[in-house]
């Protein structure tokens, strides 16, 4: 009965808050994935909305504008973390292609996409790092702070998201560079060997070497990859604070 009275009291504010929370949750790794039941995602969105109802200010004079602002801010905050995850998955796919593991692509149930073995591993590692750094707490804080913004700068936020999108390929290259460099050196070496020993089938002999070398240097470069991803996530935290200041 108390829950019904709470929703009935804040009925006009419920929809804009719920839309903003639901959109942001749909972008959060694991929680917003396709494998998470819809009832769980909807229940979490409703729970957060009920918690925010008494503490946030929503302009309900123009309900259509409030709903549009909720969707825009939610999508902008959610896209920030998706850019980082996209960069990590792009780097992993580059490594899979160079190592010849793209043929062993499997379905990633979290995203509903085909990913190679390294792609799946890096995707799960990035999700674990996201929660280990407590970034989901910053998203909740960002939701609360976003309601204090009375004059939303649509052009500024849109340009900021585009600027963050420009770091996708440089970030992916930083993660994949050690493995790709080693793979290129191995391929060049195999090319010289094929010239020196034309009767040998160097092409088939290079496959195990490419896989072993790629896995070995991917393991060696893992601390570097973790450092790069962690710094990118810290920049995400700063971006959330900038968007909602």
- Tell me the pLDDT tens digit for each residue of 207-236: 777 778 888 888 888 888 888 888 888 777
CA angle, corner 163, sides to 119 and 73, nearest 5? 90
Give residue 92's pLDDT: 83
* Alpha-carbon separation of residue 146 from 93, 223, 225 (angstroms): 35, 34, 31
| 3-class secondary structure, 153 | coil
Give residue 200's pLDDT: 67
pLDDT above 90 coverage of the chain, percent: 0
**Greater pLDDT, 88 or 8:** 88
Rounded to two decimals, the pTM is: 0.75
* Closest of 48, 241, 54 to residue 142, by C-alpha: 241
- Domain residues for the domain of 234 are 2-243
Give residue 109's pLDDT: 55
What total number of domains does the chain contain?
A: 1
Q: Range with the lowest mean pLDDT among 95-99, 102-106, 119-123, 131-135?
A: 102-106
């Amino acid at each position: 009965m108390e829950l019904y009275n709470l929703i009935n009291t804040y009925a006009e504010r419920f929809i804009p808050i719920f839309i903003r929370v639901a959109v942001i949750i749909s972008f959060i790794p694991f929680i917003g994935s396709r494998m998470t039941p819809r009832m769980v995602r909807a229940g979490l969105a409703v729970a957060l909305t009920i918690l925010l109802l008494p503490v946030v200010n929503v302009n309900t004079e123009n309900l259509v504008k409030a709903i549009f602002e909720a969707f825009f801010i939610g999508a902008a905050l959610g896209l920030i973390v998706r850019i980082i995850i996209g960069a990590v998955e792009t780097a992993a796919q580059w490594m899979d292609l160079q190592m010849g593991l793209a043929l062993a692509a499997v379905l990633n149930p979290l995203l509903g996409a085909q990913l190679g073995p390294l792609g799946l591993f890096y995707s799960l590692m990035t999700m674990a790092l996201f929660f280990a750094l407590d970034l989901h707490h910053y998203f909740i804080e960002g939701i609360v702070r976003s309601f204090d913004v009375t004059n939303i700068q649509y052009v500024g936020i849109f340009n900021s998201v585009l600027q963050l999108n420009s770091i996708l390929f440089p970030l992916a290259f930083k993660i994949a560079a050690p493995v790709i460099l080693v793979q290129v050196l191995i391929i060049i070496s195999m090319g010289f060997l094929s010239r020196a020993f034309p009767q040998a089938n160097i092409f088939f002999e290079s496959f195990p070497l490419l896989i072993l070398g790629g896995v070995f240097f991917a393991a060696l470069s893992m601390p570097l990859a973790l450092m790069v991803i962690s710094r990118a996530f810290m920049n995400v935290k700063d971006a959330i604070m900038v968007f909602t200041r």
